[in-house]
Chains A and B, each alone.
Chain A
């Protein structure tokens, strides 16, 4: 695959992270909060950058953790259970949980230039390509 950014297999992130083992007697809400989901992403590559857009509903800039270690970019979003006060869950079609996903990035990405913007539960990551990785056009001079 001729890509600078590869998503790892989703199932690799579908595992327990520390607090999955719930103690008995705890509320369902607390248990579901420790679930980890794989966020849905769009990845688009242009000549000078790669843009990654991820759906992270319930995550804000404070609860989002983005890290790059060697060639692995990791996203981790923590979601606070948002149960309306004084109400009880009566019917559920989705579970609330945290988000985690990692991606393999190539050496062509300029690590220092990575930018992240979070808005309305959507993360927009811009990964600029390093100068040497960009397609460079060499003008051909004609010699008369």
Chain B
């Protein structure tokens, strides 16, 4: 299981690392495209002050096999891509796409509002909206004088 800790303090180093990877990829003339494997799918994370949206490219997945669970500040995305069924007489000439189960867990720097979490699967792209819990207002404590 892959677990990545993402907090406010480390946003920028992650971004730097991604940028460096992209640079290396460009130098090698081969675009880096991580894909669904046992390591889990590649994520893009979008943020604003109310929460975040995780997107992942997961083409050819039965939406009912996708399972998204939220607990506190941790979100887990798992699913399965079924391998192509080919007749026995068929000759495989190229197999670049991979299949199998994947699971990825991500810790966010805030408590996720599980009730408002939404997931949409469209054109092979999964988007999970994870709002933060908003109702944590500071408590006013009244000091009684005795």
Contact = CB atoms under 8 A, between A and B. Distances in A.
Interface in A51-79: 51, 53, 55-60
A89 interface: yes
Given A40-B35, A46-B87, A86 B125 contact: no
Interface stretch (A2-10, A108-116, A136-144): A2-10
Interface string B100-121: 0000000000000000000001
B59 A87 contact: no
Interface centre among A40, A44, A45, A94 (most CB of B within 10 A): A94
Interface residues of B, number: 47
Given A46-B89, A120-B60, A87 B123 contact: no
A91 B6 contact: yes
Interface stretch (B40-48, B70-78, B134-142): B40-48
Interface of B: 6, 11, 14-15, 18, 22, 29-35, 42-48, 52-53, 55, 57-61, 63, 84, 86-87, 89-97, 121, 123-125, 127, 129
